[in-house]
Structure 1
Amino acid sequence: MEPAAADWGAELAVGADPELAATMGFSGFGKKARTFDLEALFEQTRRTAAERSRKVLEAREREEEEKEFKGQCDDAAASGSNVVSAGSAVTSRDTDSNESEASSDEDLIGPPAPSQTAIQGPAVCSDDDDDDDDDELIGPPLPPGYKNSDDEEDDDEVQEEDNNPVKKIPDSHEITLQHGTKTVSALGLDPSGARLVTGGYDYDVKFWDFAGMDASLQAFRSLQPCECHQIKSLQYSSTGDVILVVSGNSQAKVLDRDGFPVMECVKGDQYIVDMANTKGHTAMLNTGCWHPKIKEEFLTCSNDGTVRTWDVNNEKKHKGVFKPRSVQGKRVIPTTCTYSRDGKLIAAGCQDGSIQIWDRNLNVHTKFHCRQAHASGTETSCLTFSYDGIALASRGGDDTLKTWDIRQFKKPLHSVDGLPTFFPMTDCCFSPDDKILVTGTSVKRGGGNGKLLFFERETFQKVYEIDVTDASVVRCLWHPKLNQIMVGTGNGLAKVYYDPIKSQRGAKLCVVKTKRKARQAETLTQDYIITPHALPMFREPRQRSTRKQLEKDRLDPVKSHKPEPPVAGPGRGGRVGTHGGTLSSYIVKNIALDKTDDSNPREAILRHAKEAEENPYWVAPAYSKTQPKTVFAEVEQEDDETDNKPEWKKRKI
């Protein structure tokens, strides 16, 4: 009989007769399955949930009572500790009960008993990946408003930084870019902050690439787009693909990112009285800027008394003309102009001290204007709108800085004076969070350092200042994406202020790169000329590697320009011997070795007379046939009487 059949027979025998089973030594076949009372399990779960809810309510009541005497943080910590301890107790109790049930269930066969977690729902805090005790606790969530001490410290630091705008100024580090020796009168950064362009009174425009520049801080391109005219304004378009160049002439230019010309504005007819009938400016430009929304449109203002808008695609004629007028209705020169942040308004500061604002689509009458914004006869150097579009800041030639609300444009919101400026393009700009207004001051030579001043927008109190250099601060630019401040000075420097933590990219990319060593080629290799149809005997071998070609050319004395070795001996082929090394030293040496005595030069010459007479070589052979015997001219004795001499022989007195 097979073993399976034997077991089956034993099972039948045991089931049929218990006495036989006791005799054979069987106590039973298999283990008895455990039975569960589901109603008892549900009742136990309900009691556990009610106990937990009661403890949570008690903890919240204690928390409310303690808030009257202690701070919210202490109450939250105490209530949190109570809740956690309760949860840990429940966890330990559940763990003990589970362990006891597991030990008792070792001998049972059947489905395991459903856990309490499966009955009541998912656990509050369970993370299988973490081993921390806090993640393994099961219990109600922490009460609302509870904060950890570390989170409170971080929130306090953030709140303090928000309340103190000075902590947001990135000035812990700086780099200096050497533009030239004259004033840096124009700065421009593309919207991404990858490239900086500078222009100055030396007519140069230099391009700086932060990502491609190393610690030597050298510009990768320099050019003079407007020949002998000073650069007054540089600005990238809203997309960063083209640059507007405004100089001292009457024609603005547009360059691409690499400095190649794209467009040049047309020059107007200077003999037409009405400037609206001319196609372009007829006098020197003052400044210009791009439209913030339309990438093809830009704005310029000139000494011809007009503010004109242009389209890059149409260089034959301007797009629109705005003519600022004085109180008497006469023409007035605009010294600066700008767009609003949404591009709907055009603002211009004029020489009579007024600020005039037009709707971009209505160029006849002004929408806002203030006649006595600054002192009459001064040049307003800068106008800039805040990022929220409500405030307008103006930097006047009367050494003042003012802010205006364009909704109430009759009087300034704030004003500060005593800020000297000697340049018609001195800047002012808002910080990226619109809480700080920045401008620079000018100084005379030897009169101290030019400063960059920071004013709080709401109170207009000076909160910070930076000593830049011993020259005037002309241009300032605070880039919102990089959070870096660019400054142009009167001594040809462009400085970049940044903070390693608060700033992004920009100057941080180039300061970490070591200065590249200049690779000097040992030899000049010849260009490889490809002649596919040449005969094999005239075909040049293909150049496989530059390094191998350099090594090969090094061995060639012609290609490597190997100097000729010194000549041994007296010299040959027009070259002097080794002694002395020069022709003069060789001649001196031969003269010193000459044994002839030249103390009497007449005797030295006459000793060759006999040989010359017997064997003539130079002159006598030419007259050997025609005049074998030499005939010399007879010398007449001078007569004392001068009257007998002809007229042409007489001495003229």
Structure 2
Amino acid sequence: MEPVGAENDAEPVAGPDPELAATMGFSGFGKKARTFDFDAMFEQTRRTAVERSRKILEEREKKAAEKEKELESRCEGIDSSAASLRPVVKTSSKDSSGSESDDSSDEEPIGPTLPPQGSAEDSDDELIGPPLPPGYKGSDEEDDEDNILEEDEDPVKKIPDSHEITLHHGTKTVSALGLDPSGARLITGGYDYDVRFWDFAGMDASLQAFRSLQPCECHQIKSLQYSSTGDVILVVAGNSQAKVLDRDGFPVMECVKGDQYIVDMANTKGHTAMLNSGCWHPKIKEEFLTCSNDGTVRTWDVTNDKKHKGVFKPRSAQGKRVIPTSCTYSRDGKLIAAGCQDGSIQIWDRNMNVHTKFHCRQAHAPGSDTSCLTFSYDGTVLASRGGDDTLKTWDIRKFKTPLNSVVGLPSFFPMTDCCFSPDDKLLVTGTSVKKGVGNGKLLFFERETFKKVYEIDVTDASVVRCLWHPKLNQIMVGTGNGLAKVYYDPFKSQRGAKLCVVKTKRKERQAETLTQDYIITPHALPMFREPRQRSTRKQLEKDRLDPMKSHKPEPPVAGPGRGGRVGTHGGTLSSYIVKNIALDKTDDSNPREAILRHAKEAEESPYWVAPAYSKTQPKAVFAEVESDEDETDDKPEWKKRKI
């Protein structure tokens, strides 16, 4: 085909020899400018595409027919050699434009030709050995599926309790547990005012905490919880001011204390009485919740420590103030629930703090402290652990009667816990025991039927706190004798306690001693040459012969000092007074006894008074004592003693 407008082409430019230009690599220089008939090119491309599509459809129909034949042959038991691999059909097309034929020298392929490319179906159909029947699965896959089905049917098999480690927090009750969202760090708080930090990745088999502090001085720790991002920790203690710490235990924020003389607690900036519980908002990382003995539930913002964010005031049936003992957020953060001392459970909308959205007056026995409230992972069921030794579940959509209830679960602590399993099928709580009576247990109940399906005998003390981490699949338990136990399974659990039990105990670092290097200088002068090194025994023998190194210390000087050395008590007046008077152990409480102890010595060897009167008054003359009768008879009336 003649290119359009060929008559307007420019004259060819004179250039070098064609063979030399091809050898040097610039054979295309100096060619005539070309013009193209685009309509003809588009028509040719369309025809090529239609032809290619037709061939592809034929190939697919052919493959489908072959597959049907292959399935029929398998079902009839035909030998597998009949189902050989199909050849790959290669389709190619050439562009028949005359302009491309002119530039064949410019479009020569470089390198080896590409191998024929088949479809993804061809690569997947390559089989080694006889073909397998349709729907066949290996024995390992079948076993795995059977195990998964059994575990789904029986949630008890998902409980990770085959192994355990014990963390020694102290000697008093572990009243608070907290795990960060990733499960890398555990924090424990107790009645001994301490908060201890445990790092699973950094601990070895000795299981020692890497940090211990007392954030609230002399107040018992009530609750510890990491935020949803894990960067800060909420500390609720027995005082009226909650604290927020960072991951390393340094203070970030402290809530303000309210005015205790204000009657309406909504008009004061913070709590005025002891805190009972607290938790973080599940969605908003800066917001947290606290409840107190002042009868309020308050929300706070970490960025504002001057005033609370919102106030919720639970009321009794008579409209009087009620003390909330536990509080929590729903899983979506839209509801706030509080368990109160009158046995009621009151739930508010987070944005409506005046009237309750759900209310159950007689959820637990009046006067008992509801120690824990927790929502299920699906957000429809609320579990409550009461001080009346019960565990109940509630449907917030039908809040008048409990879904299930179990009694006879002793609880001696105001923070006894309950929690849901990660699959939402089990409910876990602990029991309390008196000292020396029995062992505290961790009980597992089915959520739907409340049938007790499993129990773990923990220790000879009460089980106060329990926590089942969904990522680690490990259970943390706080007890009444100062222990924090971690239950795990090597196959079902992830990281956590598995990281530290495999590490050997670190050896104590020996104190680094400075050693003097010995430099050998054979050709140095004697005055600059260092003495040759000796063994330790020979060096000691040499030092013993040295009068300076083996000099015996001089004994202390007895009596007055001599030779420039101070005596035992010194030679000054003050040291003499200390030695003879101040250190005198005689008892001078009775002055008459103190004087009379010198009477015998003065009579036998007089020194002061008697020698002075030996010449002038050798015989002492004393006044004669007359009887009382003579006085009354001889003396005049005015001299008589008046009785």
TM-score (normalised: structure 2): 0.66
CA distance in structure 2 between the partners assigned to 1:326 and 1:335 by the alignment: 14
CA distance in structure 2 between the partners assigned to 1:119 and 1:313 by the alignment: 62
Q: Provide closer, same or farther for how the CA distance between residues 570 and 482 of structure 1 changes in structure 2, counting only shifts above 3 A.
A: closer
CA shift digits 1:124-163 (9 cap, x unpaired): 8544xx8x414xx5xxx853x4434433222111100111
Q: Partner of 1:445 in structure 2?
A: 435
2:611 to 602, 624, 635: 635
Does the Cα contact within 8 Å between 1:570 and 1:576 map onto a contact in 2?
no
Does the Cα contact within 8 Å between 1:305 and 1:324 map onto a contact in 2?
yes
CA shift digits 1:87-137 (9 cap, x unpaired): 334439x99xxxxxxxxxxxxxxxxxxxxx99999648544xx8x414xx5
Q: Partner of 1:153 in structure 2?
A: 143
Q: Provide closer, same or farther for how the CA distance between residues 324 and 640 of structure 1 changes in structure 2, counting only shifts above 3 A.
A: farther
1:490 equivalent in alignment to 2:480: yes
AA of the residue aligned to 2:620: E
Q: Partner of 1:295 in structure 2?
A: 285
How large is the Cα RMSD of the aligned pairs? 3.5
Q: Partner of 2:182 in structure 1?
A: 192
CA distance in structure 2 between the partners assigned to 1:201 and 1:437 by the alignment: 26
TM-superposed deviation, 1:521 = 1.0
CA distance in structure 1 between the partners assigned to 2:175 and 2:361 by the alignment: 28
1:327 equivalent in alignment to 2:305: no
Does the Cα contact within 8 Å between 2:311 and 2:353 map onto a contact in 1?
yes
CA shift digits 1:316-356 (9 cap, x unpaired): 11000000000101000000000000000000000000000
CA distance in structure 2 between the partners assigned to 1:331 and 1:46 by the alignment: 81
Q: Provide closer, same or farther for how the CA distance between residues 123 and 251 of structure 1 changes in structure 2, counting only shifts above 3 A.
A: closer
Q: Provide closer, same or farther for how the CA distance between residues 642 and 428 of structure 1 changes in structure 2, counting only shifts above 3 A.
A: farther
AA of the residue aligned to 2:80: G
Structure 1 gaps, min length 5: 1-44, 60-78, 96-116, 526-554, 556-561, 585-631, 645-653
AA of the residue aligned to 1:88: S
Q: Provide closer, same or farther for how the CA distance between residues 473 and 575 of structure 1 changes in structure 2, counting only shifts above 3 A.
A: same
Q: Provide closer, same or farther for how the CA distance between residues 148 and 286 of structure 1 changes in structure 2, counting only shifts above 3 A.
A: same
Does the Cα contact within 8 Å between 1:482 and 1:506 map onto a contact in 2?
yes
Q: Provide closer, same or farther for how the CA distance between residues 349 and 124 of structure 1 changes in structure 2, counting only shifts above 3 A.
A: same
AA of the residue aligned to 2:611: V
CA distance in structure 1 between the partners assigned to 2:550 and 2:199 by the alignment: 58
Q: Provide closer, same or farther for how the CA distance between residues 51 and 315 of structure 1 changes in structure 2, counting only shifts above 3 A.
A: closer
Q: Provide closer, same or farther for how the CA distance between residues 641 and 231 of structure 1 changes in structure 2, counting only shifts above 3 A.
A: same
CA distance in structure 1 between the partners assigned to 2:255 and 2:227 by the alignment: 16
CA distance in structure 1 between the partners assigned to 2:337 and 2:227 by the alignment: 18
AA of the residue aligned to 2:167: L
Q: Provide closer, same or farther for how the CA distance between residues 517 and 330 of structure 1 changes in structure 2, counting only shifts above 3 A.
A: same
Q: Provide closer, same or farther for how the CA distance between residues 571 and 481 of structure 1 changes in structure 2, counting only shifts above 3 A.
A: closer
1:371 equivalent in alignment to 2:361: yes
Does the Cα contact within 8 Å between 2:291 and 2:297 map onto a contact in 1?
yes
Does the Cα contact within 8 Å between 1:486 and 1:497 map onto a contact in 2?
yes
Does the Cα contact within 8 Å between 1:380 and 1:424 map onto a contact in 2?
yes
For residues 618-633 of structure 1, the aligned pairs below 5 Å read none
Q: Counterpart of 2:257 in 1: which secondary structure?
A: coil
CA distance in structure 1 between the partners assigned to 2:143 and 2:287 by the alignment: 49
2:217 to 213, 227, 236: 227
Does the Cα contact within 8 Å between 1:186 and 1:200 map onto a contact in 2?
yes
CA distance in structure 1 between the partners assigned to 2:364 and 2:183 by the alignment: 34
CA shift digits 1:498-538 (9 cap, x unpaired): 1111111111111111111111214489xxxxxxxxxxxxx
Identity over aligned pairs, percent: 77
Q: Partner of 2:338 in structure 1?
A: 348
2:496 to 501, 506, 526: 506
Does the Cα contact within 8 Å between 2:245 and 2:253 map onto a contact in 1?
yes
Does the Cα contact within 8 Å between 2:70 and 2:83 map onto a contact in 1?
no
Report how many aligned residue pairs link the two structures: 462
Q: Partner of 1:400 in structure 2?
A: 390
TM-superposed deviation, 1:306 = 0.2
Q: Provide closer, same or farther for how the CA distance between residues 121 and 396 of structure 1 changes in structure 2, counting only shifts above 3 A.
A: closer
Q: Provide closer, same or farther for how the CA distance between residues 484 and 49 of structure 1 changes in structure 2, counting only shifts above 3 A.
A: closer
Q: Provide closer, same or farther for how the CA distance between residues 282 and 46 of structure 1 changes in structure 2, counting only shifts above 3 A.
A: closer
CA distance in structure 1 between the partners assigned to 2:557 and 2:481 by the alignment: 53
1:382 to 350, 357, 372: 372
For residues 100-179 of structure 1, the aligned pairs below 5 Å read 123=122, 126-127=125-126, 132-134=128-130, 142-143=133-134, 145-179=135-169
1:575 equivalent in alignment to 2:553: yes
Structure 2 gaps, min length 5: 1-59, 88-115, 516-532, 534-539, 559-606, 624-643
CA shift digits 1:59-110 (9 cap, x unpaired): 6xxxxxxxxxxxxxxxxxxx5xx56x54334439x99xxxxxxxxxxxxxxx
CA distance in structure 1 between the partners assigned to 2:120 and 2:260 by the alignment: 87
CA distance in structure 1 between the partners assigned to 2:138 and 2:548 by the alignment: 98
Q: Partner of 1:597 in structure 2?
A: none
AA of the residue aligned to 2:71: V
CA distance in structure 1 between the partners assigned to 2:309 and 2:216 by the alignment: 23
Q: Provide closer, same or farther for how the CA distance between residues 184 and 568 of structure 1 changes in structure 2, counting only shifts above 3 A.
A: same
Q: Partner of 1:559 in structure 2?
A: none
Q: Partner of 1:647 in structure 2?
A: none
AA of the residue aligned to 1:133: G
Q: Counterpart of 1:91 in 2: which secondary structure?
A: coil
Does the Cα contact within 8 Å between 1:214 and 1:514 map onto a contact in 2?
yes
AA of the residue aligned to 1:274: D
TM-score (normalised: structure 1): 0.65
Q: Partner of 2:80 in structure 1?
A: 87
CA distance in structure 1 between the partners assigned to 2:63 and 2:169 by the alignment: 78
Q: Partner of 2:193 in structure 1?
A: 203
Q: Provide closer, same or farther for how the CA distance between residues 319 and 153 of structure 1 changes in structure 2, counting only shifts above 3 A.
A: same
1:423 equivalent in alignment to 2:402: no
CA distance in structure 1 between the partners assigned to 2:395 and 2:129 by the alignment: 58
Runs of 4+ more than 3 Å apart: 45-59, 89-92, 117-127, 145-150, 522-525, 564-574, 632-640
AA of the residue aligned to 1:511: V
AA of the residue aligned to 1:365: H
Does the Cα contact within 8 Å between 1:567 and 1:576 map onto a contact in 2?
no
Q: Counterpart of 1:152 in 2: which secondary structure?
A: helix
TM-superposed deviation, 1:571 = 12
AA of the residue aligned to 1:315: D
Does the Cα contact within 8 Å between 1:567 and 1:575 map onto a contact in 2?
no
CA distance in structure 1 between the partners assigned to 2:316 and 2:61 by the alignment: 87
CA distance in structure 2 between the partners assigned to 1:49 and 1:319 by the alignment: 69
CA distance in structure 2 between the partners assigned to 1:291 and 1:523 by the alignment: 54
Q: Provide closer, same or farther for how the CA distance between residues 576 and 423 of structure 1 changes in structure 2, counting only shifts above 3 A.
A: same
CA distance in structure 2 between the partners assigned to 1:222 and 1:366 by the alignment: 41
CA shift digits 1:534-571 (9 cap, x unpaired): xxxxxxxxxxxxxxxxxxxxx9xxxxxx9x97799999
2:263 to 266, 273, 285: 273
Q: Partner of 2:454 in structure 1?
A: 464
Q: Counterpart of 1:425 in 2: which secondary structure?
A: coil
CA distance in structure 1 between the partners assigned to 2:61 and 2:293 by the alignment: 89
Does the Cα contact within 8 Å between 1:166 and 1:464 map onto a contact in 2?
yes
CA distance in structure 1 between the partners assigned to 2:120 and 2:187 by the alignment: 64
Q: Counterpart of 2:84 in 1: which secondary structure?
A: helix
1:338 equivalent in alignment to 2:328: yes
CA shift digits 1:165-192 (9 cap, x unpaired): 0111111111100000000000001111
TM-superposed deviation, 1:202 = 0.3
Q: Partner of 1:182 in structure 2?
A: 172
1:305 equivalent in alignment to 2:307: no
